[in-house]
Structure 1
Amino acid sequence: MMLKHFLTCLQFLQCHSLRGSPLKGALHSMWWPPYGDTDSFLKSADIIHCKSKHLLFVQNKKGDTPLHCAAHAGMSRMVCHLISLARNEDTGVNRVKELLEMENKLKETALHQAVRIGNNDIVKLLMEENSELASFPKDGTSPLYLAILLEEEIIVETLYKLSNMKLSYSGPNGQNALHAAVLRGTELTKMLLEWNNDLTTQRDENGRTPLHFAAALVRQSKRGSICWQVLEANPAALYQSDNDGLFPIHVAASVGERGTITMFLNKSPSSAGLHDTKGRTFLHVAAEKKKVGIVSYGCRNQSLSWILNMQDNDGNTALHLAIQAGSLLMFCALVGNRQIHLNLTNKKGQTPLDISRCEIPPGLFDDKNSETKIHFALKVANARSGACGCDNFEEPYSHRLKHNAREESEKARESTQTLCIGVVLIATVTFGAIFALPGGYRADEHTDGGTPTLAGRYSFDAFIIASTFAFMFSSVATLSLMYSGYSILNPQSRRIYLVVALYFGSTSVTCFTAAFALGMYMVLAPIAYKTAIAICVTSPLVVLCNKLEFWLKWSLLARPLCTRIGIIRTLVIVAQRILFNLFMEFWPFIFIFVWAAYTRNQL
């Protein structure tokens, strides 16, 4: 069988040689693991080479020589044998060097193939034959870069030790091996910095240094970390910007890495004021990227007070950008620092108050949005509009309202479908509860036969009122939802009906919760009084959770408002809002229990 294969290879070679046709090379077809590294295949290579010596240097469509193929297949014996064949050619030219340095269409030598499969034996074999092999290609991905990218630490050491300092550190897109090392681990980074510290200054085609790459890593700010190593090796890299003018501190801010920024500032406090091509500091970048932790850090750090009011090329401060981003957390962090000015104007003449007005999204329930809370807080904090006046900003806002009319109509239709399920469910359950009262009914032979057993009790009267309200309000919500879906009505009327449906739907949940708690109390109180009380106490949490966003946002606004307008005034404003909200949510409770007490006193 093997002899037949050899004869086939020779016939293949002779056939293509006679035709003069381009061939991939008979030697290229020698790699069928695990047979390709056997004595038989080595003899086959000898036979083919004897017939056509030039095939040893022939390249296939990918530009690979037989040596490339053997290295890629991991056949160390075949690699050694092919090198021997080249050495035995008596041409007066160093054919071994020529063979080893041949590159394919990707500008890769056989050494690249050995590195790619992680075969250190073949790497060592090739490097011992030609110590300059690790310097190829002159531009592009070097074997060292590839080994680091694949995290082949042993191969990296082999390349360095056998290269006699003739080692290429280049990588694709203008990168060097250190760019790859910072993405692969601490040990590889440390190794490269010991070998060539100048790598820290080199930039890729985007102008980024290895420190830019390291700054983008998360949780790499501790002593001995990758970022720390690169920074210690070349602190001046802090002041090298990329093609977009971004410095490493901007990169760290864009990924929200507070520890890295702290490390940069400890090394060089003045780096806090670095501006990119848009005039942005790292605080501007953090505000645009909604990195709340970085913005909060900048506001708490007294040493950074000198950059808080810096303006970019458009005249925007970090506060302007935080409001444009609609982030209540960033807004609270910034406004909570009294050193931040509330009335600085950008190049459009807009103050933070003007921007907050324009950023309020046109919607059905804009009072629940963060943008609305931001606008309210600025007004309370006595922020002022720009000198250009409000008219310049009202026109684009009105245009945006008209532009989004169709989108809002679609949102209303989707909201109608969702809300309708909930309110119809409540109406159905409460309707059934009226005819399946807790405690059942009295027997027909009783004086008041057919009447509820628990009738006359305070809890029963309250239960009936709560169930009635739940049914009524859910029914009103259902009707309102029906009208809000009528396309024949004008958009404003449909909006009103949808608002009514939302409010009465929410109120029906409050009444339904009260009815549930009262029903459980009537059933359990005689035998498990404490459990009944626990149910009554915890049930209102359903209503409070319905306003969870309200409580969270006002709790966030309380601190910055205290800083700006004082504790007393803040308490008054917050108390008014909370009491009004509680009344709007719990007024059915008041009516239910007061009416039950009133009817009981009338008996």
Structure 2
Amino acid sequence: MASSIHDSTMEPLPVIMNPLLLSSACSGSWQELEFLLNRGIDQAQPSIMPSQAFLDLLMAYGSDSCINKSASAQQVSDDIEAFLKLPSTLVSLLDGVTTDGGTVLHVVATYGDSDGFLRSVDIIHSREKHLLFAQNKNGDTPLHCAARAGMFRMVSHLISLARDEHASVNRVKEFLEMENRLKETALHQAVHIGDNGIVKLLMEANSELASFPKSGTSPLYLAILLEEDIIAETLYSASNMKLSYSGPNGQNALHAAVLRGRELTEKVLEWNSDLTTQTDERGSTPLHFAAALVGQSFRGSVCCQVLEANSTALYQSDHNGLYPVHVAASVGERGTVIMFLNKSRCLRW
């Protein structure tokens, strides 16, 4: 009895995507995709005939029928129906997923953005509009996949579909701001691959996108971390200066910038000097990070930049009671220690 109760409460196993559908999606062959999805429709002569390569695939995947170049379109359709063994009225081919939980729309969005792939998306979307918002096991939507693959036209097309006449403004906003399990939006994916064009496209669609997630790694922090200075500038300007500077473990973009050099540090300080006194989860300010660097005691160095932007950071200790001067001393940076002490004397006077 216990086992039957257990079985009844278990989630049903996902339907594995049909290999022919997967092949069509990967190749961007909208004709083959439409041929498959139109199976079971009562028509004397299907209007679309698949390629011989597609028919060869059908044989390879186990059809018992002998398919040849002279077979009629209706015979081919019957062969496919027999192979699929799924009543079209009960189970849709579009219910199938890949091993990572991706739908056919995830696959199409990943593999290309030529006209064939875009038309494939339209065919799928016309039948199952909800797949636009579907998430795989990693929480990625088709938009995440397209952005990560650098498919500019596909990203643009997916956004256009989200903006169809029946969608509200809030629905489109929700689509663009959807996060995966790492709390990353499609914008993060574009930053990861260094594609400023897709970054611009996404920011034009939603200027608030650089504010997500509300806590954790922001697109700006990621751009600084990856030393994508042009993308960092795009994020700042396209967001109308309203964006998140947050990073992991309580860090902010300045924590990352001081570890990446003077140019990025200068940019971030210009954009938001208040970051100098913000601490991470260990109580460390960006000056603590800068103090741990070797050879930073000269004028114009990262240490000097942060110090000049806000000298009060000298007097902030971390959760272990260590001040930036202690950090500099612990790594043997005598010059930095002297610079800190001289700055402290000047402030006293």
Same fold by TM-score, threshold 0.5 exceeded? yes
CA–CA distance in 2 between the matches of 1:28 and 1:89?
23
1:72 is aligned to 2:148: yes
Write out aligned runs for 1:338-349 (5 A): none
**TM-superposition CA deviations, 1:78-114 (whole Å, max 9, x none):** 0000000000150445322111000011111000000
Number of equivalences: 269
Whole-angstrom distance in 1 between the partners of 2:172 and 2:35: 28
CA distance in structure 2 between the aligned counterparts of 1:64 and 1:32, rounded to whole angstroms:
11
How far off its partner does 1:230 sit? 0.2
Match of 1:587 in 2: none
CA RMSD of aligned residues (A): 2.4
Q: Do the aligned partners of residues 252 and 4 (structure 1) sit closer, same or farther apart at CA in structure 2, a change above 3 Å counting? A: same
After superposition, the C-alpha distances for 1:480-535 in whole angstroms (9 at most, x for unaligned) are xxxxxxxxxxxxxxxxxxxxxxxxxxxxxxxxxxxxxxxxxxxxxxxxxxxxxxxx
Partner of residue 178, structure 2: 102
Match for residue 247 of structure 2? 171
Larger RCO, structure (CA 8 Å, separation 6 or more): 2
Aligned partners of 1:102 and 1:6: how far apart in 2? 29
CA contact (8 A) 1:9 1:26 kept: no
Aligned-pair CA distance for 1:266 = 1.1
2:272 to 166, 181, 196: 196
1:168: Cα distance to partner?
A: 0.2
Tell me by how many angstroms 1:269 deviates.
3.5
Distance in 2 between the 1:18 and 1:63 partners?
A: 17
Corresponding residue for 1:4?
32
Q: Counterparts in 2 of 1:280-299, with a 5 A limit?
A: none
Residues 68 and 113 of structure 1 are in contact (CA less than 8 Å); yes or no, is this contact kept in structure 2?
A: yes
In structure 2, the residue matched to 1:119 is 195
Structure-1 residue corresponding to 2:164: 88
Secondary structure of 2:136's counterpart equals coil
Partner residue of 2:332?
256
Unaligned 5+ segments in structure 1 are: 272-603
Out of 24, 34, 46, which is 2:102 matched to?
24
Q: Secondary structure at the match of 2:208?
A: helix
Supply the AA of the counterpart residue of 1:64: D
Corresponding letter in the other structure for 2:190: A
Match of 2:283? 207
User: Do the aligned residues in 1 keep the contact of 2:287 with 2:314 (CA within 8 Å)?
Assistant: yes
1:199 offset after TM fit, Å? 0.2
Task: Give identity over the alignment, percent.
Answer: 70
The one-character-per-residue Cα deviations of 1:391-436 (angstroms, maximum 9, x if unpaired) are: xxxxxxxxxxxxxxxxxxxxxxxxxxxxxxxxxxxxxxxxxxxxxx
Cα distance between partner residues in 1 of 2:253 and 2:261: 12
Bigger helix share: 1
- Runs of 5+ consecutive residues of structure 2 not aligned to the other structure: 1-23, 40-83, 85-90
| 2:37–2:93 CA contact under 8 A, matched in 1 | no
Change (3 A) 1:255 1:46: same
TM-score scaled to structure 2, two decimals? 0.73
Aligned mates of 1:32, 1:98 — CA distance in 2 = 21
CA 92–195 in structure 1, closer or farther in 2 if over 3 Å, else same: closer
Structure 1 residue 157 corresponds to structure 2 residue 233: yes
Residue 16 (structure 1) shift: 5.1
Matches within 5 A, 1:565-584: none
Write the letter of the residue equivalent to 1:27: L
TM-score by length of 1: 0.43
Q: Return closer, same or farther for 1:92/1:53 CA change in 2, 3 Å cut-off.
A: same
**How far apart are the structure 2 equivalents of 1:16 and 1:39?**
21
SS state at 2:200 partner: helix
Name the SS for the 1:74 alignment partner. Answer: coil
Separation of aligned partners in 1, 2:110 and 2:288: 45
| Distance in 2 of aligned mates of 1:18 and 1:46 | 18
Which secondary structure state, in structure 2, belongs to the residue aligned with residue 113 of structure 1? helix
CA contact (8 A) 1:179 1:213 kept: yes
- Larger Rg over CA atoms: 1
Distance 1:18 1:237, change over 3 A: closer
Deviation at 1:258, TM superposition (A): 1.1
Q: Is the 8 A contact 2:109 2:154 kept in 1?
A: no
Aligned with 1:88: secondary structure?
A: coil
CA distance in 2 between partners of 1:66 and 1:45 (Å): 10
The alpha-carbon deviation at position 209 of structure 1 amounts to: 0.1
Preserved CA contact (<8 Å) 1:67 1:82? yes
**Cα pair 1:16 1:23 within 8 Å, conserved:** no
Aligned residue type for 2:201: L
Task: Note if contact 1:89-1:95 (Cα within 8 Å) is conserved in structure 2.
Answer: no
Matches within 5 A, 1:99-498: 99-269=175-345
In the alignment, the residues of structure 2 paired with residue 99 and residue 10 of structure 1 have an alpha-carbon distance, to the nearest angstrom, of: 29
Cα distance in 2 between the residues matched to 1:23 and 1:229? 48
Q: CA deviation at 1:24?
A: 2.1
Alignment-mate amino acid for residue 102 of structure 2:
K
